Every structure is written in C-alpha cells, then in structure tokens.
C-alpha cells in the first residue's frame, strides 16, 4: 500500500458542494465482519490511476488504509484530500430526508471524531461532514442544514480547529450542539476537576507528565507526591492522545516506570492512581454509557479476569454467561444500575453539559460510580451479530432513536 502515496496525491477534488463517499460506518462494518477490504482498495486505486477518483474516494481510501493497519498512510491520504475538499456526504437512507445535519470534524485518525454515521445509519436524516482545517476557509456558501454538531475530540491535535469552531460558533446560522469549549473539558487531566466532589462518584486525579520528568523520577526514586498529591503505587499510565488501551499499564514501583519508558517512545503521559474495581467474584466489570440530551443509556458491559479491559478483549462473543449478564444489565438498566447511580449520573451530565457524550465506568467496592473517562468520540454501534447478541439491536435502536429525536427537536422539527 505504501506505493499508493504518490498516486493518492493525484486525486482530483471536484469543487462541488459536497463529495459523496461510502463512509466510515459501511467500511467499518465490512472490516468488523472480517471482510477483505483489499479488493475495494485496489478498485479505488484504479480510479486514482485513471484520474477518475473523487475526493470522496480519497477519504474512503484513507479509512481503508487505517482499517488495514497503515495509520500513517491513511492520515497522509487524508491530509492530501482535505487540502482540496472539506465537505463530504455518505449515502442517506431516505430520498427525502426529514432533517439535514452538518457535523463539524477535524483531521484525525479513526478515533478522533464522533462516529456519528453509526448513530444515524438507516435513518431519514441526511448527514454532511465538514472538516475544519486551520488555514483553509469554509466553503461558501455553507450547505443548507437544520442543525450542526461538533464531532471533534478533545485531543491536543484538535485544539486549533476547536478554537476555530468556537469562534465560528458565535455567529453560526443554525443551532450548534456539543459546544467546543465544553469538549475541551473531557481531557483526562481536566475531567477529574470538573467532576470533583460529586456525591457517590469516584474519579482518580490525573496528571499530565512529560517524559523527562518521569525519567528523572524513576532515577531518583522521589515520592509520587511530586507528580500529584496523594499519588501512591500502583499507578496507571498511558500516552496522551492514545485510544483503546494503547500503552495503558499498571506500574508498581520506580523501576517499572523506567522499563515502561524504554518500551513507549511518546513524549507525554497521563498518570493516575490505580483503583481496584474487582467485584466479589474477582472479575472486573466495565460499562459504557451514552448520554443523549442528559439521559443515560446502556451501551455495553464488558466482563474480564483482567483489570485492563475493553469490549474486544473481554471475550464476550465466546462466553454465553457473560453475554447473559450483559443482557440483564441492559434489560434492567433504568431500574437497577441507572437507579442505583441516578444522582451521580445526573450531576455528571449537568457538569459535562454536552448534548451527546459517553462514559466508561465501573462500580467501586463501596458501590460508588467509578469514572475512567468521558468522551464524545467513543463508538456506539450496532455491528455485533444479532444471532449471538440478540439483546443488542433493540438497545442500540433506543439510543439511535433518542439521538435522532434530539437532533430533530433542536433543528426546530417535531420529533
């Protein structure tokens, strides 16, 4: 695929209002179902070689490259495409859309923007995505839309674009959801301050620490209080800007910090206190919850023998007992988990104050709500096979319908 780099530069962007594309949701579904994306890659590259590729083809090539494991090539193609065209549209399920939504995105990898296509897939809502690229003016005129939503993340790489969006939002012609200033509060070293003191909620303080400072600490063995107040071993550490557990580790002493730095080349890390959240049976349970217009909804429950857990490594697909527990969690969410933590969830939603976001959380040994992160870009999808996860499609539809109703209501239409 590397030989495609120079060819990708020849993708010719038509200066139309928007560039049609296959889109993230459909391409991700193909990869999720273990479909071979290489024939599609070669098909699109043949269009590039023939000078017939559009900017939409280019952005799809960027996604395919990343799904095939070549992130650097994907981002390189994305950069070339966005220098020419910033507005894109995946297919809409309806020829007469009920609502037109404009999503404001930034140039990032696959985890860097809200995967909104999954939330609107198969709906009668038309989605257009406008990439805000610093130094490049917005298209004129802006496409007609009823409501806009910021889907950029809180990543450091998005800060300049978020500032641009914040300036633009002051005079945006339509309702604008997920205010960029509030998205910035989701960063790990800020969120614990936003949520400090919420009754029934625990969130460890997180410090942003430069590599040099960690290396100095590892050599000197100085107290962890020099990094953050009340910080003691064991600690968790991860590179800033990382996704899906990349680089996440639990460290027990200064020597392990030194070894960790030998294996991780990044220049900056998030460090926080490790909180043991194992249940009485020794298993770890981690929950994802989405908030739509302040209302919490169960997304998934992952159960694992290890603390470093995310859904794909929890072996939920191969364990019927785990799936049965997840199904019960979803079925009883409003009456059990949601009721048990009602006050903490409500206060969390009020303080984060975003129209749409998710949290990854657990329960402490004292039955409190333990927050790992809040994010506006975590994936909420309906890709799991319904024959194995029959309880998921109705729950995902509940979330998708709530999201659509929020957009329709904010856009001035009747839900």
Fold for domain 205-273? Answer: Dna Ligase; domain 1 (3.30.1490)
Q: Pseudo-torsion of CA 92, 81, 131, 360, nearest 10°?
A: 80
Helix (H, G, I), strand (E, B) or coil at 301: strand
- Could you please report the per-residue DSSP string of 316-381? -TT-HHHHHHHHHHHHTTTTTHHHHTHHHHHHHHHHH--SEEEEEEEE-TTSPEEEEEEESS----
Neighbours of 402 (CB within 10 A): 19
Crossing angle of helices 24-32 and 55-67, in 10° steps, is 30
Tokens standing for 83?
A: 């220098």
| Phi/psi at 182 (5° precision) | -80, -30
Assign domain 284-410 to its CATH architecture: 2-Layer Sandwich (3.30)
What pLDDT is attached to residue 110?
Answer: 92
Q: Pseudo-torsion of CA 281, 238, 348, 196, nearest 10°?
A: 100
Asked, colleague to colleague, whether 205-273 and 284-410 share their fold, the answer is no
Q: Which residues, in sequence order, are bridge partners of residue 303?
A: 285
| Phi/psi at 99 (5° precision) | -150, 150
What are the strands, taking DSSP E only, across 178-283?
Answer: 201-202, 206-210, 235-239, 249-251, 268-273
> What are the average pLDDT values for consecutive 10-residue runs of the chain, which has 415 residues?
48 60 96 94 97 97 97 97 96 95 96 96 96 90 94 89 92 95 93 97 94 89 75 93 85 94 96 96 98 98 96 95 98 98 98 98 97 96 97 98 97 70
Half-sphere exposure of 25 (CA within 13 A, CB side): 20
**Which residues have CB under 8 Å from 351's CB, separation 6+?**
194, 195, 198
- Residue pair 201/371 in contact (Cβ under 8 Å)? The answer is yes
- Domain positions in the chain: 1-91, 205-273, 284-410
- Residue pair 122/386 in contact (Cβ under 8 Å)? The answer is no
What pLDDT is attached to residue 8?
Answer: 46
**Which residues have CB under 8 Å from 371's CB, separation 6+?**
191, 195, 201, 202, 203, 348, 359, 360, 361
Picking from 193, 201, 270, the residue whose alpha carbon sits closest to that of residue 235 is: 270
What pLDDT is attached to residue 11?
Answer: 42
Neighbours of 222 (CB within 10 A): 12
| Phi/psi at 206 (5° precision) | -125, 130
| Counts for the chain of helices (H) and strands (E), in that order | 15, 15
Entry field: residues in the chain: 415
What pLDDT is attached to residue 415?
Answer: 53
What pLDDT is attached to residue 14?
Answer: 36
What pLDDT is attached to residue 4?
Answer: 53
What pLDDT is attached to residue 322?
Answer: 98
- Residue pair 347/198 in contact (Cβ under 8 Å)? The answer is yes
């Amino acid at each position: 695929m590397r030989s495609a780099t120079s060819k990708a530069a020849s993708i010719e962007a038509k200066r139309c209002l928007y560039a049609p594309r296959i889109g993230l949701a459909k391409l991700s579904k193909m990869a999720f179902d273990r479909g071979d994306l290489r024939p599609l890659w070669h098909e699109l590259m043949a269009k590039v070689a023939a000078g017939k590729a559009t900017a939409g083809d280019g952005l799809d090539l960027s996604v395919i490259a990343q799904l095939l494991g070549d992130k650097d090539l994907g981002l390189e193609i994305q950069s070339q495409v966005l220098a020419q065209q910033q507005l894109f549209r995946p297919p809409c399920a309806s020829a007469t859309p009920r609502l037109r939504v404009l999503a404001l995105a930034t140039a990032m990898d696959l985890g860097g923007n809200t995967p909104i296509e999954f939330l609107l897939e198969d709906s009668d809502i038309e989605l257009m995505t406008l990439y805000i690229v610093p130094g490049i003016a917005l298209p004129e005129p802006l496409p007609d839309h009823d409501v806009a939503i910021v889907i950029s993340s809180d990543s450091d790489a998005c800060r300049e674009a978020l500032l641009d969006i914040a300036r633009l939002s002051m005079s945006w012609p339509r309702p604008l959801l997920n205010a960029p200033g509030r998205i910035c509060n989701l960063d790990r070293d800020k969120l614990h301050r936003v949520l400090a003191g919420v009754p029934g909620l625990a969130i460890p303080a997180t410090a942003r620490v430069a590599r040099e400072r960690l290396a100095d600490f590892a050599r000197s063995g100085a107290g962890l209080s020099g990094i953050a107040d009340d910080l003691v071993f064991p600690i968790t550490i991860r590179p800033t800007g990382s996704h899906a557990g990349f680089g996440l580790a639990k460290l027990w002493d200064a020597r392990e910090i030194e070894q960790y730095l030998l294996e991780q080349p990044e220049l900056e890390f998030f460090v926080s206190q490790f909180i043991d959240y194992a249940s009485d049976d020794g298993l770890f349970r981690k929950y994802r919850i989405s908030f739509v217009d302040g209302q919490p909804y169960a997304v998934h429950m992952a159960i694992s023998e290890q603390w470093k857990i995310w859904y794909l490594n929890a072996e939920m697909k191969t364990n019927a007992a785990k799936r049965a527990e997840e199904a019960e969690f979803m079925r009883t969410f409003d009456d059990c988990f949601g009721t048990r933590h009602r006050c903490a969830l409500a206060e969390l939603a009020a303080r984060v104050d975003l129209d749409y976001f998710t949290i990854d959380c657990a329960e402490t040994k004292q039955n409190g709500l333990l927050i790992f992160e809040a994010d506006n870009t975590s994936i909420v999808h309906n890709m799991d096979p319904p024959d194995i996860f029959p309880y998921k499609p109705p729950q995902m539809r509940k979330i998708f319908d709530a999201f659509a109703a929020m957009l329709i209501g904010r856009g001035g239409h009747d839900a």
